[in-house]
Structure 1
Amino acid sequence: MAESTIAGRPRGAWRGIPEGIRLGAARVDAVTPVERDRAVDALRAFAILGVVLGHWLVTALVADGGSGLRTASPLQHMPWLAPISWAFQTLAVFFLVGGHVATRGYTSARARGTTYGQWLRSRLSRLFKPVAAVLTLWTVTSVLLLLSGTDIDTVHTLVKLALSPLWFLLVFATLTAVTPLLLRLNPLWPLAVVLHVDLLRFGLGGPAWLGWVNVAAGWLVPFSLGAAWTRGELERRRAGWILLTGGAAATAALVAWAGYPASMVGVPGAGISNLNPPTLAAVTFGLAQCGLALLLREPLRRTMRRPLAWAAVALLNLSAMTIFLWHQTALMATTATGLLAGHLPGLHTLPDNLTWVAARLAWLPVFTLVLAACWTAFRLYEQGPRRPKGRTSRVIRSNPTPQNEKTKARHHA
């Protein structure tokens, strides 16, 4: 007798999972168009989680003896932990996916007769609607803190951390706005700009402000790689291997012989930051990450056929901006509330030993719960009101793979 199934999956595969979760995951899986490329959503989800976990692990708010807080980093006191930044600095993957989705979406919109202005308004509204809630809350919070007598340096530290994700949105929005110009751009052009900027800055003693050119040029490299993905130029695994090995070798050489920091995130007190603004080492490291992401597409597509895995990724993508914008607030809310109980290890203490690292890992579930509370309170700014029955959620709209596009073409032929 054939084994009974739920939504096409063996019942044994669901054992131990609550029925409500099983049915919900099966429903999300069932209504997702078969042509959607679920690997794109998985890569975006991993990129968001990498940024969130990275910030939670390397950002410390140290109590300075009174009620004030100052920023510190375990990478400042334990530089041998730099590989942590290699695992969790995943912005290049986010820009890769963003470039792929933007160029594919614009091409599709143009084919439907949608104007550039209509397409851009739709894209940017999804990015910036959640920002209003963050700005409003932190404006009110800052005023209340100052009125209560909180040290202005502490308020500056908190506001700077809370609003730090906004730089990313500004860069991402700018690149999205110029998507029509990037449809044919070779990623080697912005890479050449980054190379020459760093050569002028570090090799020839040029002005430091030149580095800010790399804020646009540096992130344009993975964004334009996403456009190349849309054009079908990165479908062969060879492309992924070239990017992974070439980017990793270039980064290792820059760190070992050119004096670039090993950490791929900024470290307080360091003379050079690889991220603020992006350096050539950060960009080559991003190329390696993009190569790995491309190589993982097929394994991710297979994994995302599992309803539970796909439902988790789909729901995370539905709230990606809310999670991104509020994760620093969750960290700071936990830290500030914890001060009522004294200076707690891993939360208010100096991050200068492995005891702090172990304690910080223990705080991650608490940060997650506070972030969940923020998500509950503010997710409607991103998701909007409940959809009318019969209208498809944007999290499960068509997002075709090249293979499925070919299948559809043969079918219609």
Structure 2
Amino acid sequence: MRDRTAWKAPTPSRLRTAAHRVAAATQAERDRAVDALRAFAILGVVLGHWLVTALVADGGALRTASPLRFMPWLAPVSWVFQTLAVFFLVGGHVATKGLASARARGAPYGQWLRARLDRLFRPVAALVTLWTVAACSLLAAGADTGTVHTLVKLALSPLWFLLVFAALTAATPLLSRLNPLWPLAVVLHVDLIRFGLGGPAWLGWLNLPAGWLVPYTLGAAWTRGELDGRRAGRVLLAGGAAATAGLVAWAGYPASMVGVPGAPVSNLDPPTLAAVTFGLAQCGLALLLRAPLRRALRRPSVWAAVALVNLAALTIFLWHQTALMATTATGLFAGRLPGLHTLPDDLGWAAARLAWLPVFALALTVCAAAFRVLEQGRDRRPPRLVRSHRPEAARTPGPRVDA
């Protein structure tokens, strides 16, 4: 007898049907541009890391290198894929709106915060556990200590972002009305003391919270309706781009918006004024793209793809470096492969690395399938793919994608 429950490969018609079901389940009042901007920000970070992070096989060890060190003219790649400011913009917007919604329902602050942090940190436990076991196993098997340190550092590097994001989320009641000019002024004075007056390097770490406070509080201003017009987006885009260009051209800031191994100054570790002004330009562009994105996302297939990314956004972010390293380690069985284990010092490496991106994506898909349940929880009810950002949508079923 034929098994009617057997798995059937997706066909274009089935995919279209599924996309229409997701679109039909989405509340009409939902601002889909918010989800699209979050998806772009996450995928930008992932692709950026995959393009500029190289694990070079050097004898029996692996060490990190960056094509930006050998080919600094590739710095514009970092301008496209360093999208953290957009994520903090969306995070500030969603958190401020969510807190207002919780207050309107009479939910206490502690309950709102626990719900957000639980979903934020639940997937972290699996990542830390797996890499603790992996590191101990590698060391016990006699692996090079430097290699193990390199792998663990790369795997856990996304956690700094979560700690900062969690701290800002917890402080949302205090930050929801903070003018972004205040943290911007902190970054400006810190850099002036560090680079202009020869101040201590540790002072730069004050920019870690202050630098990301700027886009986060811009997100709160968005929620308050202060950035609804296109003028705000144009001012941020033009002003941020002009300020960044001036800082790079005349103030000696690096052109790369990500860290480059061996460089004396990193724009990202900790954030510099150039990184923050560049983030302002990105936020301005994101605000200008809201209307075009809303129009594009009326297409069910486009919206379904955005919803799918948002369903596993945190899992994708946490495991993308692991996917890269798993591919690199597996590839060692075939020898030193170009674009995977070789020095990133020419365009041949860049072309080979582009060819490896689908393999990285496949490895990440496996990780996401294995660990996404930790992000979504073990709810036995039918899955929801979207939940509106508006208070009234809490009573209306629909797919959940907010972070």
Counterpart Cα distance in 2 of 1:17 and 1:28: 17
**Equivalence for 1:349:** 342
**Equivalence for 1:330:** 323
* Residue 303 (structure 2) pairs with residue 313 (structure 1): no
TM-score, L = length of structure 1: 0.91
1:334-390 Cα deviation digits (max 9, x unpaired): 00110111000000000000000000000000000000111111111111225414x
* Residue 353 (structure 2) pairs with residue 363 (structure 1): no
**Equivalence for 1:259:** 252
Aligned CA distance change for structure 1 residues 239 and 387 (closer, same or farther; 3 Å): farther
Counterpart Cα distance in 1 of 2:269 and 2:263: 11
Counterpart Cα distance in 2 of 1:138 and 1:287: 35
Counterpart Cα distance in 1 of 2:188 and 2:21: 49
The alpha-carbon deviation at position 165 of structure 1 amounts to 0.2
Q: CA RMSD in A?
A: 1.2
Matched letter for residue 273 of structure 1: S
Counterpart Cα distance in 2 of 1:174 and 1:182: 11
Counterpart Cα distance in 1 of 2:388 and 2:147: 46
**Equivalence for 1:396:** 386
**Equivalence for 2:210:** 217
For residue 381 of structure 2, give the secondary structure of its aligned residue in structure 1.
coil
Structure 1: unaligned runs, 5 residues or longer:
1-15, 402-413
Describe how 1:14-413 pairs up with structure 2 within 5 A: 18-64=12-58, 66-389=59-382, 393=384, 395-400=385-390
* 374-383 or 349-358, which deviates more: 374-383
For residue 379 of structure 1, give the secondary structure of its aligned residue in structure 2.
helix
Matched letter for residue 153 of structure 2: K
Matched letter for residue 260 of structure 2: V
Matched letter for residue 17 of structure 2: L
Counterpart Cα distance in 2 of 1:220 and 1:195: 13
Counterpart Cα distance in 1 of 2:389 and 2:21: 18
The alpha-carbon deviation at position 232 of structure 1 amounts to 0.2
The alpha-carbon deviation at position 182 of structure 1 amounts to 1.1
Say if 2:98 and 2:389, in contact at 8 Å, map to a contact too. Answer: no
For residue 55 of structure 2, give the secondary structure of its aligned residue in structure 1.
strand
For residue 244 of structure 2, give the secondary structure of its aligned residue in structure 1.
helix
Number of aligned residue pairs = 382
Structure 2: unaligned runs, 5 residues or longer:
1-9, 392-403
Matched letter for residue 189 of structure 1: W
Counterpart Cα distance in 2 of 1:17 and 1:260: 51
TM-score, L = length of structure 2: 0.93
Say if 1:32 and 1:397, in contact at 8 Å, map to a contact too. Answer: yes
For residue 266 of structure 2, give the secondary structure of its aligned residue in structure 1.
coil
Say if 1:85 and 1:263, in contact at 8 Å, map to a contact too. Answer: yes
Counterpart Cα distance in 2 of 1:107 and 1:136: 35
Matched letter for residue 381 of structure 1: L
1:83-102 Cα deviation digits (max 9, x unpaired): 00000000000000000000
Counterpart Cα distance in 2 of 1:283 and 1:121: 29
Aligned CA distance change for structure 1 residues 308 and 387 (closer, same or farther; 3 Å): farther
**What is the percent sequence identity of the aligned residues?**
77
Say if 1:96 and 1:223, in contact at 8 Å, map to a contact too. Answer: yes
Counterpart Cα distance in 2 of 1:388 and 1:201: 54
Say if 1:243 and 1:288, in contact at 8 Å, map to a contact too. Answer: yes
Say if 1:38 and 1:399, in contact at 8 Å, map to a contact too. Answer: no
Say if 1:37 and 1:400, in contact at 8 Å, map to a contact too. Answer: no
Matched letter for residue 24 of structure 1: A
**Runs of 4+ that moved beyond 4 A:** none
Matched letter for residue 91 of structure 1: L
Counterpart Cα distance in 1 of 2:108 and 2:198: 46
The alpha-carbon deviation at position 399 of structure 1 amounts to 2.3
Say if 2:101 and 2:390, in contact at 8 Å, map to a contact too. Answer: no
For residue 63 of structure 2, give the secondary structure of its aligned residue in structure 1.
strand
The alpha-carbon deviation at position 314 of structure 1 amounts to 0.7
Say if 2:42 and 2:313, in contact at 8 Å, map to a contact too. Answer: yes
For residue 235 of structure 1, give the secondary structure of its aligned residue in structure 2.
coil
* 378-387 or 161-170, which deviates more: 378-387
